[in-house]
């Protein structure tokens, strides 16, 4: 469940979404008089603007979830950066192999399985050491098929991390909780 905080300044047209900034904006002395403005009609316009912003933000979250975020995380971590090179190298060899032998798809299927499993398992220090050892052996031998086979054996029985999937955006679930006029 998401909670969004937005403050729309009707005078300037600016939108605040940081809770601290919102509280700073609305704070005033206890003895200050309240003045209720006469622009209630604008509430619906402002609400529509905020709903659009929330939908855009939600779509970005969905998009990020769909991309290979695990590969990005692995590539940014210094200890596991070699995995990006490993994946790139095998995919390059596989592409060349499939160009020469397009009917032999078994290696592609095998690699897809290994790649997805590799990106789903938790890469502990020990697992990274083992993968690094396999990578070094491959660099010496150049046998990419052997590397795929070894990785298949290595990844057998490992459980994938579970990730909660973001449900599709539903504007009907959005509720305007509070409208407050600050003057």
Instruction: Give the start-to-end residue ranges of the domains of the chain.
Output: 7-65, 68-155
Tens digits of residue pLDDT in 155-179: 988 877 666 667 788 888 877 766 6
The confidence score (pLDDT) of residue 69 equals 59
Q: Which residues, 6 or more positions from 52, have their beta carbon under 8 angstroms from its beta carbon?
A: none
State the Cα–Cα distance between residues 65 and 140, nearest whole angstrom: 36
Mean residue pLDDT across the chain = 81
Q: Which 3-state string (H, E, C) describes the chain?
A: CCCCCCEECCCCCCEECCHHHHHHHHCCCCCCCCCCCCCCCHHHHHHHHHHHHHHHHHHHHHHHHHCCHHHHHHHHCHHHHHHHHHHHHHHHHHHHHHHHCCCCCHHHHHHHHHHHHHHHECCCHHHHHHHHHHHHHHHHHCCHHHHHHHHHHHHCCCCECCCCCCCCCCHHHCCCCCCCCCC
Q: What average pLDDT does the segment 91-115 reach?
A: 88
Answer yes or no: is pLDDT of 41 > 80.
no
Identify which has the larger pLDDT, 22 or 149: 149
pLDDT tier at 183, thresholds 50, 70, 90: low
Q: What is the pTM of this model?
A: 0.52
What whole-number percentage of the chain has pLDDT above 90? 19
Tokens of 97: 């192999």
The confidence score (pLDDT) of residue 178 equals 66
The confidence score (pLDDT) of residue 162 equals 61
Tens digits of residue pLDDT in 48-84: 888 888 888 888 877 766 555 566 666 667 777 788 8
């Amino acid at each position: 469940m998401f909670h969004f905080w937005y403050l729309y300044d009707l005078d300037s047209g600016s939108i605040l979404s940081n809770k601290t900034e919102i509280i700073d904006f609305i704070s005033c002395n206890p003895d200050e008089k309240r003045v209720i403005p006469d622009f209630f009609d604008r509430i619906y316009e402002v609400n529509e603007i905020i709903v659009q912003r929330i939908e855009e933000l939600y779509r970005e979250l969905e998009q990020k979830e769909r991309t290979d975020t695990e590969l990005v995380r692995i590539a940014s971590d210094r200890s596991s950066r070699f995995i990006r090179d490993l994946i790139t190298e095998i995919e390059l060899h596989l592409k060349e192999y499939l160009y020469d032998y397009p009917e032999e798809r078994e290696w592609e299927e095998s690699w897809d399985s290994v790649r997805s499993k590799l990106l789903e398992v938790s890469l502990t220090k020990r697992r990274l050491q083992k993968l690094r050892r396999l990578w070094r052996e491959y660099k010496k031998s150049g046998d990419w098929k052997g590397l795929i086979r070894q990785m298949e054996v290595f990844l057998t029985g490992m459980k994938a991390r579970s990730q909660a999937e973001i449900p599709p955006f539903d504007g009907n679930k959005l509720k305007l909780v509070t409208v407050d006029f600050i003057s």
